Amino acid sequence: MSIEEVQIENLRRIESLQIQPGPRWNWILGANGVGKSTVLEGIHLLATGQSWRRGQRQLIREGSTAYQLRLRYAATGCSAQIAMRRCGEEREMLHDGERLQSAWQLLDILPLQAWHEGNGQFVSGSAEDRRRILDWGLYYTKRNYGTLLRSYRHALKQRNAALRLGQSPRPWNRALAELGEAIQEQRDQHLQAVSQHFGRIWQHSPQGEIPVQFDLYRGWTEDLLGALERDEATDRQWGYTHSGSHRARLQFRVQGRPAAEQLSRGQLRLLGIAFRLAQLAVQRVEGARLPVILIDDFSAELDDAAKAWWIGELDTLATQIFAATTEAIPPMAGAIQFHLAAGRLHKEVRP
């Protein structure tokens, strides 16, 4: 699967822009503030329904009333199109002319992995940041995981609503426990598979001599149903559920201590890259579709050796990549460079 064309109108600083990428490496070069990230953001919106940057209202270019995005992609020998329009609080999403009711539907149309300012340092970020990365890998590897996750979130929302209203949460305990246990089982399996690839990938990185371990605290200390029953008084007092899959914590350690306390920002970013590369390796082995990859600010906090290693690892995936950077890139056969300035793109194909 690859993107064949992207059209952006009135998104942030971009008034009108069209890009026709190649099937492998697509570099977007330019000075800071010219809109490189906005090009990637437009693709991200079309594939997920969300921006990684805050402020949905700020997405519409100043002086305009709406933004419009279109993307044509190739899959299984034919082309299809995703379109999105937002005006104020109203948003319309279409897939080949048919209206989509939920952004969840977009996730199943165009698999995407994005590195950006919101998740580039997820290893040292919040537990929610790390949990989101973990669940991303599962969503595209295990076919029923998205359904499990949505069902769990619905049960959790209903249980929390009962707690806030002073009602008994017990009618939701069993459903929440069964879903939570199923989610944990799949998370454990995914991490075991990731660990088999992570060791090789990390060992070949510029920081491969640093011993790294990761593990998962599941979010409760006994069987989940028992934890929900035990916590009922506390949950009633605070109005939310304390135990469950939504409290899971993926933890990275170096010599038994939190990696965030032991490593520099550059090393932490490299560690996060290695973990996500291992997730991609799991997808490839299990026959899942590899995603289109977006990388914002490719060179941030990485030295030349780290950048060369990352390029080499990504190149072996043979998937479509969009990478934004302010720096010159190394010679790469078949790579396409898009130079962005004053809202215009100049395309250059490397022989």
pLDDT one-digit tens code per residue, 62-111: 899 999 999 999 987 789 999 999 998 899 999 999 999 998 899 989 99
The DSSP bridge partners found for residue 93 are 84
Are 280 and 113 in contact by the 8 Å Cβ rule? The answer is yes
Q: List, for residues 209-254, the tens digit of each pLDDT value.
A: 999 999 999 999 889 999 999 999 999 999 999 999 999 999 999 9
State the pTM of this model: 0.93
| 112-115, strands of its sheet edge to edge | 112-115, 292-295, 321-325, 25-29, 336-341, 344-349
Query: Which pLDDT belongs to residue 117?
Result: 85
Residue 184 and residue 335: Cα distance in Å, rounded?
Answer: 40
Query: Which pLDDT belongs to residue 200?
Result: 95
> Mean pLDDT score of the chain, rounded to an integer?
93
Angle at 138 between CA 206 and CA 323, to 5 degrees: 45
CATH assignment of 1-111+290-351? 3.40.50.300
Residue whose token pair is 């064949």: 4
The answer to whether residue 54 scores a pLDDT higher than 80 is: no
Angle at 109 between CA 103 and CA 114, to 5 degrees: 75
The answer to whether residue 290 scores a pLDDT higher than 80 is: yes
Of 143-147, 207-211, 316-320, 340-344, the range with the lowest mean pLDDT is 340-344
Domain with CATH 3.40.50.300 in the chain: 1-111+290-351
The answer to whether residue 133 scores a pLDDT higher than 70 is: yes
CATH number belonging to the domain at 123-288, selected among 1.10.10.350, 2.60.120.650, 1.20.1050.90, 1.10.579.10: 1.20.1050.90
Max Cα-Cα span within the chain? 68
Domain with CATH 1.20.1050.90 in the chain: 123-288
Q: List, for residues 23-39, the tens digit of each pLDDT value.
A: 999 999 999 888 999 99
Query: Which pLDDT belongs to residue 57?
Result: 58
The proportion of the chain whose per-residue pLDDT surpasses 70, expressed as a percent, equals 98
Query: Which pLDDT belongs to residue 66?
Result: 94
Q: Span 160-168, mean pLDDT? A: 96
- Local structure of 312: helix, strand or coil: helix
Residue 10 banded pLDDT, cuts 50, 70, 90: very high
Amino acid at 128: E
H or E segment to which residue 278 belongs: helix 265-285
Higher-pLDDT residue of 103 and 162 is 162
